[in-house]
Amino acid sequence: MMSKTLTRNLRRSFGTRMMPKQTQLFIDGKWVNSANEGIFETINPYTAESITSVQRASVEDVDRAVDAARKAFDNGPWRRTSASERGDLLFKLSHLVKQNSEELEYLEALGNGKSVNVATAGCTVVMKTAEQTPLSALRVGELIKEAGFPDGVVNILSGFGEDAGAHLVRHPGVDKVAFTGSTEVGLNIMRNSSISGLKRVTLELGGKSPFIICKDANIEESIQQANFALFFNSGQVCIAASRLFVHEKIYDEFAEKSAKLASKAVLGNGLDPNTTQGPQISKEQQDKIWGYIQKGKQEGASCLTGGEEYEANNTEYGLAAGVVTQDIGRAFHIVNGLRVGIVFVNSYHSNDITCPFGGFKNSGIGRENGITGYDPYLDTKTVIMSRPEVSISQLIFEI
């Protein structure tokens, strides 16, 4: 009863303007219902209450969205628009996002994405949202329309992976697939994307990121950093530092103080300003975490005792790692030995949008962000042109 009361109070404090308005599919610049009128409930993970019903994209809807994106790319003005003009539209969208940031944050917290920045390269996009968190992406779709993007450049589908997602990946009209999620699903995408022909694939998958605390680290600061590295966004971040390596000389003090800090977390509704750690995204994810804890206990683990030693690289993943030390030489030595795509030194989660983001091994393929992140969306074309005054006989002779 308390949780429902809190949600109602927060809803009143934000006002009805904060409640989700758009629940349809965004295809070819229009808001439409699913072809088969399918819907699904999006759930508040804290209260387990339904937030709203959202249109569920079908295979037919995927075909409509891909056709719209294909038409906008092949025949529309978008890829022929100058980079500066595309940039102007994206800047306009960014201003609209900032103006509506409070509402977007509310929708994200209420329900808990791929960004449309690839449009900068002249690409058109079909985005399938995560079924758990469709609302903020749908609101951005409204802002895309308001910003004046041409119809078909960005299409947004809410649906499930087993039908809409699988069909989108296999669709012959799709040139490039970008996915963020689990390694298991990423492997399926690799297998299925090539059924209709060769496709470029960028996969940003999971990780088991190590956070290494050296003996010369400032203990108080490193405890704060480690806590943030692990529990940020309730630990639901691909680069979350889920494995701590602490030097034996400072281990006992570090473990004791870390446990005290973790115990101060305020669990609750993500909309409550007093909450420091919100719920897991779904009951399924919560059950999975509890399963890991129980398995660890069955194998002899406990919260504050050291176990068998593992090397930082001894995992199938290689997404991120963290190192805390005051010795820059030691930092570079460890960095060079880590088989991961991202290393944070004396910090964590301090990402820069201009820096490539991605991992090694089963943590994914390719990179996002920065100039490197645009490469998979671009084609290289070689053009060899002879000067009018050069005869064909001269060209043949040169060959």
Active site residues: 204
Question: What 3-state DSSP class applies to 51?
Answer: strand
Order of strands, sheet of 243-246, starting from the edge strand that comes earlier in the sequence: 243-246, 210-213, 320-324, 342-345
Closest CA to 261 of 270, 253, 249: 253
Q: What is the dihedral of CA 171, 174, 179, 185, to 10 degrees?
A: 20
Are 40 and 51 a contacting pair, CB within 8 Å?
Answer: no
In angstroms, the CA 210 to CA 220 distance is: 19
Q: What is the DSSP letter of 305?
A: S
Cα separations (Å) of 149 from 32, 120, 368, 389?
A: 17, 12, 23, 45
Question: What 3-state DSSP class applies to 244?
Answer: strand
Cα separations (Å) of 226 from 255, 289, 327?
A: 11, 19, 18
Alpha helices in the chain (DSSP H): 2-14, 59-74, 83-99, 101-111, 135-147, 166-170, 183-193, 219-231, 251-263, 283-298, 328-337, 370-374, 392-398
Pairing of strands 30-32, 39-43: unpaired
Packing angle between helix 135-147 and helix 101-111, nearest 10 degrees? 150
Pairing of strands 320-324, 360-361: unpaired
Q: Which residue do the tokens 């680290």 mark?
A: 217
Query: Using CB atoms within 10 A of its CB, is residue 11 exposed (0-12), middle (13-18) or buried (19+)?
Result: middle
Contacts of 103 (CB under 8 A, 6+ apart): 17, 18, 139
Query: Using CB atoms within 10 A of its CB, is residue 25 exposed (0-12), middle (13-18) or buried (19+)?
Result: buried
Are 336 and 312 a contacting pair, CB within 8 Å?
Answer: no
